[in-house]
Chain A
């Protein structure tokens, strides 16, 4: 643990400002939107600064950057769906919060705790896919297959990586899924999507977005930690 940073307050404020700037940049220029061939039109990476803010600077910064993401996606919206603040802004507030909390919960976990957690997650998700399968058979099968695939992948990966990195990746994926699930739920409640369409978009966008965010967040956090650990003041 590094000695306490006297500038912690200012640092947090400034970092939040810069993450907010990146979020606005990504949303307003639409660079953070990856075009994909689905009804929703674009997958996003613009929620990643919010996740990073939550993980590196705590829930409050995550909340503020998430608010900025919502605002940017509202202002830059080209679809009626995202010109509705209840869809564009409200769900985004929770991205940073969820990833911060998940990260705080998992930060200290060791390999065994993580294995048990993945096991519990697998059981819960399988129960859920059984429920879904009772209503729509093919959807239940798809959800179950995806669940098993993801959990097996995680377990194999757990054997190879450090627990710290896995905690980061899971927190990032959780933040990303928060975005997907809440936006689609809100869109369905407000009547822009039917339930079937929301499911399709959720599966085709949510999972790739979660994976991409996990990869990017791990890459950025390890790079940023390196900057922090370097001797300050002698960077010539």
Chain B
């Protein structure tokens, strides 16, 4: 039950105001940073490159003055499963083995398996830090505006850029409202004696509980959509043509600097793939 009480504060990561340099960047450059950072992480290969990336990203977290414990705290509940998966990955690795250290038929410990495990763990921590570098330093309003502004050029080539941006902003706007709605549904069902929490083994009961929750939620969303259409028609909504914005985003020198750093990072990881580094 306690897990539902915080629903109305739902957001993609909590904003942590420390007023650092990273906080003051344009949301657009942070969004692009996230994308380029992911590309860099996916192209990085081998131990040293991944360790270097980790140190670099930890440096960025420090620059944003975010407490590292806080950034990594979301993993804690999943730690047992992650450990189990990592062990299984090493034991049942099926790719090219490299040096085999131990061989018991089905179970085989090899340098290839250990490397895969290490690299995917490093990458996991990297991505965790990167996503919180965006979400913990940018308010959700700024993220929405950033996405909208990044998608706007799409309308020029005939793609529905404005609609896409509208979809995203409606989604982010309605996230807390639907969260509240879901809380109300849960509490109403609780009051009638339904929805008892079950353990991991009560699969059927858990599935039924989820179904009882999602059906009224979806039906309610459709009702809201009807009302929203009416409200927007009443305000003469015409689509994105000729719309203006109260707050204008401005790209400054430090944004260009951040972006060129990101591009350089991607170029570096691609370049390092060509070198024989372990």
User: Which residues in A have some Cβ–Cβ distance to B below 8 Å?
Assistant: 7, 9-11, 13-22, 24-26, 28-29, 31-32, 34-37, 39, 41, 43, 45, 48-49, 52, 64, 68, 74-75, 78-81, 83-86, 191-192, 194-197, 208, 212, 215-216, 219-220, 223-224, 227, 232
Tell me which residues across on chain B come within 8 A of A43, comparing CB atoms: 203, 207
Query: Which residue from A25, A31, A48, A85 sits with its C-beta under 8 Å from B42?
Result: A85
Q: Which residues of B contact A17 (CB under 8 A)?
A: 166-171, 174
Q: What is the CA–CA distance of A196 and B121 in the complex, to the nearest angstrom?
A: 22
Chain B 1-42 interface residues, beta-carbon cutoff 8 Å to A: 4, 7, 10, 12-13, 38, 42
Determine the distance from Cα of A36 to Cα of B121 in the docked complex, in whole angstroms: 23
Collect the chain A residues with CB atoms within 8 Å of residue B42's CB: 84-86
Task: Digitize B63-98: 1 where CB-to-A-CB distance is under 8 Å, 0 elsewhere.
Answer: 000000000001101100110111011001111000
Chain A residue with Cβ nearest B218: A220
Verify A13–B200 contact, CB threshold 8 A.
no
- Residues of B near A37 (CB, < 8 A) are 200-201, 203
B94 close to A195 (CB less than 8 A): yes
User: In the complex, what distance in Å separates the CA atom of A81 from the CA atom of B218?
Assistant: 29
* Residue B120 interfacial (CB < 8 Å): yes
Q: Which 6 A-B pairs have the closest CB atoms?
A: A17-B170, A78-B78, A20-B171, A80-B124, A21-B174, A21-B171
Given known contacts A17-B166, A21-B172, A79-B85, A192 and B120 CB-to-CB distance under 8 angstroms? yes
Contact assessment for A25 and B233 in the assembled complex, using a CB-CB cutoff below 8 Å: no
Q: In the assembled complex, how far is the CB of residue B54 from the closest CB belonging to chain A, in whole angstroms?
A: 14
Question: Contacts of A34 on B, CB cut-off 8 Å?
Answer: 203, 206-207, 210
B195-232 vs A: 1/0 string, CB under 8 Å? 00001110100110011011101110111111011001
B131 within 8 A of A: yes
Measured CA separation A28–B13 after assembly (Å) = 9
Q: Which residues of A contact B224 (CB under 8 A)?
A: 18
> Chain A residues with Cβ under 8 A from B173's Cβ?
21
Assess the B167–A223 pair: CB atoms within 8 A: no
Q: Which residue of A lies closest to B206 (CB)?
A: A34
CB contact list, B92-144 vs A, under 8 A: 92-95, 116, 120-121, 123-124, 127-128, 131, 135
Contact status B85-A80, CB under 8 Å: yes
Among B10, B13, B168, contact of A25 (Cβ-Cβ < 8 Å): B10
Q: B171 touches which one: A31, A36, A68, A79 (CB < 8 A)?
A: A68
Q: Do A49 and B218 have beta carbons less than 8 Å apart?
A: yes
Q: Please name all residues of chain B whose beta carbon is closer than 8 Å to the beta carbon of A26 when the two chains form the complex.
A: 214
Q: How many A-B residue pairs have CB under 8 A?
A: 181
Distance between Cα atoms of A84 and B131 in the complex (Å): 12
- Complex: A196 Cα to B199 Cα, angstroms: 26
The bracket for how many chain B residues form the interface is: 35 or more
Does B49 lie at the interface of the complex (its beta carbon under 8 Å from any beta carbon of A)? no
Whether B88 pairs with A39 at a CB distance below 8 angstroms is yes
Chain A residues in 8 Å Cβ range of B124: 80, 83
Bound complex: CA of A34 vs CA of B229, how far in Å? 33
A10 touches B232 (CB 8 A): yes
* B178 at the A interface (CB under 8 A): yes
- Let me know if B179 is at the binding interface, CB within 8 A: yes
Extra 16 A-B pairs, beta carbons < 8 Å, given A191-B95, A194-B93, A216-B215: A10-B237, A13-B163, A13-B170, A14-B228, A45-B207, A75-B12, A78-B74, A84-B123, A86-B42, A197-B92, A219-B211, A220-B215, A220-B218, A220-B219, A223-B215, A227-B226
Q: Which of B12, B77, B182, B221 contacts A78 (CB 8 A)?
A: B77
B168 touches A81 (CB 8 A): no
Give a binary string over B47-68; 1 marks a CB under 8 Å from any A CB, 0 the rest: 0000000000000000000000
Name the B residues within 8 Å of A22 (CB-CB): 178, 214, 217-218, 221
Are A41 and B81 CB-contacts (below 8 A) given A64-B167, A215-B211?
yes
Residues of A within 8 A of B89 (CB): 192
- Chain B residue at minimum C-beta to C-beta distance from A36: B203
Residue B272 lies at the interface, judged by CB distance under 8 Å to chain A = no
Listed residue (A26, A80, A195) with the most chain B CB atoms within 10 angstroms of its CB: A80
Residues of A within 8 A of B211 (CB): 45, 212, 215-216, 219
Query: B150 an interface residue at 8 Å Cβ cutoff?
Result: no
Chain A residue with minimal CB distance to B13? A75
Question: For A13, what are the chain B residues with a Cβ–Cβ distance below 8 Å?
Answer: 163, 166-167, 170
| 14 A–B contacts from the bound complex (CB under 8 Å) | A15-B222, A19-B221, A28-B10, A32-B210, A34-B206, A35-B199, A36-B200, A41-B81, A45-B207, A80-B123, A83-B128, A191-B95, A215-B211, A220-B218
Minimum CB–CB distance from B92 to chain A (whole Å) comes to 5
CB distance from A235 to the nearest CB of B (A): 9
B164 within 8 A of A: yes
Q: Which residues of A contact B95 (CB under 8 A)?
A: 191
